[in-house]
Amino acid sequence: MNHYRLVGLLLHVSCFYTCTCLGPFGMMYPKDSESRTVKLLDGMWNFRVDDSSNRNRGFEEKWYSVPLRQTGEVIPMPVPSSYNDITQEKRIRDFVGWAWYDREFFLPQDWTSKRVVLRVDSAHYNAIVWVNSVELVRHEGGHLPFEGEITRWDIPIVLGGNNRLTIAINNTLSPTTLPPGTIQYQHDINRYPEGYFVQNLQMDFFNYAGLHRHIQLYTTPKTYVQDVIIATTLQGLNGLVKYTVSTSGQPGNVQLAVEIIDRDGRVVGHSNQFQDTITVGDGHFWWPYTMNSSSPGYLYTFEMNLTLLSSGVSDVYRQQFGIREVKVTDKQLLINDRPFYCHGVAKHEDSDIRGKGLDFALIAKDFNLLKWLGANCFRTSHYPYAEEIMDMADQQGIVVINESPGVGIRKANNFGNLSLAHHLKVMDEMYRRDKNRPAVILWSVANEPDTTHDNSIYYFKTLLSHVRFIDSTRPVTFVANSDFSSEKVAQYTDIICLNHYNAWYQDCSHTELIQRQLTYDLRQWYAKFRKPIMITEYGADTIEGFHQDPSIVFTEEFQVEFMTEYHKTFDNLRHEFLVGEMVWNFADFMTAQGITRAFGNRKGIFTRQRRPKTSAHLLRSRYQAMINNTSTVRNRHTGR
């Protein structure tokens, strides 16, 4: 391998394991309040890629030290978006290496007495941020937020004037990133230019890159609420809300007032302790959609008012949460002590033009389609989704299996100590961001890793144990596609999640074999591990408008026939140990180019433009029938 080229692509990556967001606290989403102001920096930014042979010119010439337009030609680039799908240039769509953004922003003069923080909601994959040419923060990982305080002593900000923000991102995937990948250099100069390389992926979706979500400034007082951890349990008709508030001030110097406020604005609980358990009498529990039609997604507000005693300056922050409890037995998944059966979809956060860029219209459309289907859950395949998507799930009662970017962990060099350390850090960041979300009922640490070799045992046993340690309130799993006979890690999970593609990737087109093979496999999995099982993927590629009778693969008729055979097996087993089914996929999505994918993965029941295929109507009929059979409830609080 050409080591010099690789170093240029991965410059500074060895430093990325340090970040400002350490420990169990932090990453509160920016919100306006009496004491806080939020300013979005979304819009058109200046943009250029560093297409030098070593991808290192930007650092050699210190592009961060001057306005980006002075370093060469720039183009406008929307933030948030994926830069791959914005231009008409193939070299930008397929670019691998460092891409550079900058813009100016104004800081009001009246922010003088405030602490000012810059928050990046998602930058794929490695990122370095400068403010007025001074480095602020670095981060590794493409789907979770990071931040830095710009009012620290060494950042030369201008209050009452313009400032410059520069961000460099690198989408290179290596054996230790999540997801992992490799850089392959071609050395035959008769066939390839000198230094020619390609990015090899170990996942089956496009490696979108860019500033995918909001870039925000927010203010707090100098003494402020850092975070709150909320854990809820049920006690009859009452809800127990156990919390811990972290602040920048020390007890004795600050005073805290906590209130729990219901949907109608009534205070139903209060305390002045930094750590306490509040009983909410006759509580409205958070129920999944279709499980209790009277109050799915019921949310309370947890209000914190922190006052600095010496000055009387206060910080106010409000966090929504739901009262619910998740348990797992050897055959059931329980929410609020009632069996829950997940009938939903696996999704990709993928849109037609903006790639993985945040799109409010698409979020609203997708949740309307989920309700139209009658789906009550989805899996964030295969990375944490935007917080605005998670907000909608909380509010509408859609259960979420929250998955890390650990997809494609299959090669020996993906299981080393460096990979494990990074994976643990990602799970910490996921927990910090989503720990108080009632919709999140299950952590998934990986999708389809190779868990048939001994080196996977230590890796995943450590990872699963760590997630249980930081969060004892939710079950933990990974999504498997191995054979039950050779599986070595599933014993350490709480729920067995399986991807099955009988009659597609094996015995292709032979739908008559699905029931026999699937039933045998699932019964063997249960007999070996004695844990509830959820099917997290099953599906067949289908091109909208392709029809054939009798059916053949890639037609809409085949997808319906394929799914129908799976449904028969699900119905036979869901009163035993099967606790969920998720079709792959909610919508078609883009993949890397190759001869096995015709313009991306076509397993969606909707197209990328959200047009329903015939299979969507089949699934709607099935899920609506499930709702009609289970929607009658006796008590609006307990669901019994």
Residues annotated as catalytic (active site), given as ranges: 448
- CA dist 176 and 613 (Å) reads 38
Amino acid at 366: D
**Which residue from 478, 569, 495, 570 is spatially nearest to 532, judged by alpha carbons?**
495
E strand or H helix that includes residue 76: strand 75-79
Query: Are 83 and 92 within 8 A, CB to CB?
Result: yes
DSSP state at residue 589: B
Provide the H-helix boundaries in 193-270.
Answer: none
Sign, CA torsion 563/566/567/568: positive
Q: What is the dihedral of CA 119, 121, 123, 128, to 10 degrees?
A: 10
Angular region, 23: left φ>0, alpha ψ -120 to 50, beta rest:
left
Separation of first and last alpha carbons in the chain: 64
- Cα–Cα distance, 638 to 640 (Å, whole number): 5
Q: Give me the helices (H) in 435-583, please.
A: 455-470, 514-529, 556-573
Which H/E stretch holds residue 362?
Answer: helix 360-373
Strand duo 215-220 + 225-235: pairing: unpaired
List the Cα angle 497/503/504 in 5-degree steps: 80
Residue with tokens 């890397």, as numbered in its chain: 592
Residues 364-379: b if buried by 16+ CB within 10 A, e if exposed: eebbebbeebbbbbbb
Given a contact cutoff of 8 angstroms between Cβ atoms, the answer to whether 560 and 612 are in contact is no
Q: How many residues does the chain have?
A: 640
Q: Which residue has the tokens 């048939």?
A: 452
Nearest residue to 181 via CA among 478, 413, 417: 413
CB of 346 closer than 8 Å to CB of 586: yes
